[in-house]
Amino acid sequence: MPTAPQDRDRLLLAQYATAWSHSRGRLREEPPPTYRSEFQRDRDRIIHSKAFRRLEYKTQVFVNHEGDLFRTRLTHTLEVAQIARTMARALALNEDLVEAIALAHDLGHTPFGHAGQDALNECMRDFGGFEHNLQSLRVVDELEQRYAEFDGLNLTFETREGILKRCSRRQARTLGELGQRFLEGTQPSLEAQLTNVADEVAYNSHDVDDGLRAGFIDVAQLREIPFTGALFDEVDRNYAELPPRRRIYEVVRRMIGIQVADLVESSAARLAAAAPQSPVEVRDAAQSLIRFSDDMLASHTALKRFLFHHLYRHYRVYRMAEKSKGVVRALFQAFFDDPALMPPQESARARSLESAAGENGRARVVADYVAGMTDRYAIAEYQRLRDPLHLT
Ligand code: MG
């Protein structure tokens, strides 16, 4: 006899975990899946979405064509899911839910990473702005079109809540139940809290690896930061003659392992002290219960600061970012000025949203179209639009 999802929940989850029995359900009710839990179904819908496949060709920090070994949005996403699942299982939280949130958390990212988002946000300044968290929600709520009975993926409230990591009060007012916690200052589920930190653990660690590979940061700099310095010391003590790349990998795996262990242990202690009896009580806590210890938080923040100054602001990352912004701006402007330059489905949407919501509607369709592009598609579109000899 296969085990029913609700029996698995009862056996495996802590009382404060988000069991399906506590879910607020889907926007549109659907018959329950047979063998999977509802959160597994969310995860599977995300994996089968178009936006998920596009993550492969979207920038994390390094633009896709800069090298095959750098993280892309997709491999970043998989690393977040891996880290989040480990921590969820250790804390008896809902592993299916954290996996769904992790796999969807970056679906709304533009081509060219944060530079793309900033450029699109500038273009949308007079039309309601652009923000990637909200865009991820738009992708799963509206833009994916693959089911006969509804637009979007019709995901559960809990997965959608986890995707919407941040939100302004102004936006929150437009989001109904989902926006409430930003207005009331309450917490999301533990699974959402955990995936949020898993994202940071993932990028802090893999950006060190990618930054070293690119030669934009070096080992000498990392030795000066107490957290990574101690890890290099430990690796060098144990393995005197390690080839450079293996030495780096040994440091990076320790970075992930130590942060994960700290997060699991300090969160377990906080949960034991607060003793929430249900996932509902978790939401009323004054702050997130899934947190690093104070020491680890300090190390984590110092590393973030280092990466900000030395990697994300490195002149070559900056140069690529500025060039990418030019591409995004040019695409937005061209399509906004003449929506008929977009493929028929998008230009028809632009016409219909424009008649419903004026220029804001037209701009939103253009932003959706540009945000959905992969890096290489955006570059190809840019070239097609500019080159008079390119006749398609
Ligand atoms: Mg991320």
CATH of the domain at 249: 1.10.3210.10
CA distance 160 to 154: 9
Cα–Cα separations (whole angstroms), residue 62 to 72, 140, 306, 364: 8, 26, 17, 27
pLDDT of 388 higher than 80: no
Q: pLDDT tens-digit profile of 139-159?
A: 999 999 999 999 999 999 999
pLDDT of 65 higher than 90: no
CA distance 127 to 358: 10
User: Does some domain include residue 342?
Assistant: no
Q: Which residues contact 41 (CB under 8 A, 6 or more apart)?
A: 33
- Does residue 326 come out as left (phi exceeding 0), alpha (psi in the -120 to 50 range) or beta? alpha
Q: How far is the CA of 389 from the centre of ligand 1 (A)?
A: 39
Q: How far is the CA of 106 from the centre of ligand 1 (A)?
A: 5
Q: How far is the CA of 125 from the centre of ligand 1 (A)?
A: 24
User: Does some domain include residue 269?
Assistant: yes
Q: How far is the CA of 337 from the centre of ligand 1 (A)?
A: 32
pLDDT of 222 higher than 70: yes
Question: Mean pLDDT, to the nearest integer, of 349-373?
Answer: 95
Give percent of the chain above pLDDT 70.
Answer: 99
Q: pLDDT tens-digit profile of 154-192?
A: 999 999 999 999 888 988 999 999 999 999 999 999 999
Q: How far is the CA of 372 from the centre of ligand 1 (A)?
A: 16
User: Does some domain include residue 224?
Assistant: yes
Question: Mean pLDDT, to the nearest integer, of 270-294?
Answer: 93
pLDDT of 6 higher than 90: no
Q: How far is the CA of 339 from the centre of ligand 1 (A)?
A: 31
User: Does some domain include residue 231?
Assistant: yes
Q: pLDDT tens-digit profile of 233-247?
A: 999 999 989 999 999
User: Does some domain include residue 275?
Assistant: yes
pLDDT of 17 higher than 80: yes
User: Does some domain include residue 247?
Assistant: yes
pLDDT of 132 higher than 80: yes
pLDDT of 64 higher than 70: no
Q: How far is the CA of 380 from the centre of ligand 1 (A)?
A: 25
- Quote the mean pLDDT of the chain: 94
Q: Which of 314, 61, 327 is nearest to 207 (CA)?
A: 61
pLDDT of 9 higher than 90: no
Residue 250 domain boundaries? 37-316
The number of folded domains in the chain is 1
Q: How far is the CA of 9 from the centre of ligand 1 (A)?
A: 27
Give percent of the chain above pLDDT 90.
Answer: 83
Q: How far is the CA of 202 from the centre of ligand 1 (A)?
A: 8
User: Does some domain include residue 220?
Assistant: yes
Q: How far is the CA of 199 from the centre of ligand 1 (A)?
A: 5
On whether the CB atoms of residues 228 and 248 are closer than 8 A, the answer is: no
Question: Mean pLDDT, to the nearest integer, of 320-329?
Answer: 94
pLDDT of 205 higher than 90: yes
Q: What are phi and psi of 26, to 5 degrees?
A: -105, 160
Q: How far is the CA of 116 from the centre of ligand 1 (A)?
A: 15
Chain centre distance of CA 277: 29
pLDDT of 392 higher than 70: no
Tell me what pLDDT residue 103 has.
Answer: 98
Tell me what pLDDT residue 148 has.
Answer: 95
Tell me what pLDDT residue 391 has.
Answer: 64
Q: How far is the CA of 353 from the centre of ligand 1 (A)?
A: 30
Q: How far is the CA of 236 from the centre of ligand 1 (A)?
A: 31
Q: How far is the CA of 241 from the centre of ligand 1 (A)?
A: 35
User: Does some domain include residue 300?
Assistant: yes
Q: How far is the CA of 191 from the centre of ligand 1 (A)?
A: 15
Q: How far is the CA of 15 from the centre of ligand 1 (A)?
A: 28
Q: For residues 352 and 2, which has the higher predicted lDDT (pLDDT)?
A: 352
Q: For residues 79 and 2, which has the higher predicted lDDT (pLDDT)?
A: 79
Q: How far is the CA of 240 from the centre of ligand 1 (A)?
A: 35
Question: Mean pLDDT, to the nearest integer, of 258-272?
Answer: 97
CA distance 351 to 372: 19
